């Protein structure tokens, strides 16, 4: 496993700007998850994909947030018109396994993309 990679690792932006984060999962994992973690809290589920299909979105994901996984490989998370409340660590994870029979339940997390909105 080469690991889950996320880019950029840290983004500082001004309120109202748009930002985009990229996640490259482990290549053979077809499920990809986005979580958000704020200081002093555990990660909170945002959305997940199976291949290119977005299967579920949390209510935390307002209309300003959009996630894509166009070819079932890497994924992007875009935040439009950022607000100071969006400041957080955005975590990506991929799930070991190819289908229901082979999923082991182990999520592999990237190191995260930290967003600071000024």
Partner 1 sequence: AQSVTQPDIHITVSEGASLELRCNYSYGATPYLFWYVQSPGQGLQLLLKYFSGDTLVQGIKGFEAEFKRSQSSFNLRKPSVHWSDAAEYFCAVGAGSSGGSNYKLTFGKGTLLTVNP
Q: Using CB under 8 A as the criterion, which residues of the chain lie in contact with partner 1 when the complex forms?
A: 3-4, 31, 33, 40-45, 48, 55-56, 91, 93, 95, 100, 103, 105-112
Q: Minimum Å distance from CB 62 to partner 1?
A: 18
| Beta carbon nearer to partner 1, 72 or 97 | 97
Q: Minimum Å distance from CB 73 to partner 1?
A: 19
Q: Minimum Å distance from CB 11 to partner 1?
A: 16
Please report, for residues 28, 57, 104, the alpha-carbon distance to residue 16 in angstroms, rounded to integers and kept in the order given: 36, 23, 40
CA separation for the pair 81, 17 (Å, rounded): 5
| Beta carbon nearer to partner 1, 83 or 106 | 106
């Amino acid at each position: 496993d080469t690991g889950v990679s996320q880019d950029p690792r840290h983004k500082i932006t001004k309120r109202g700007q748009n930002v985009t984060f990229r996640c490259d999962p482990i290549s053979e994992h077809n499920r990809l998850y986005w979580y958000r973690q704020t200081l002093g809290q555990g990660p909170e589920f945002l959305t997940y994909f199976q291949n290119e299909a977005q299967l579920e979105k949390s209510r935390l994901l307002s209309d300003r947030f959009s996630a894509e996984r166009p070819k079932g490989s890497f994924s992007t998370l875009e935040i439009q018109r950022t607000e100071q409340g969006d400041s957080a660590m955005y975590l990506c994870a991929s799930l070991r396994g190819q289908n229901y029979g082979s999923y082991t339940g182990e999520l592999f997390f990237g190191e995260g993309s930290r967003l600071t909105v000024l």
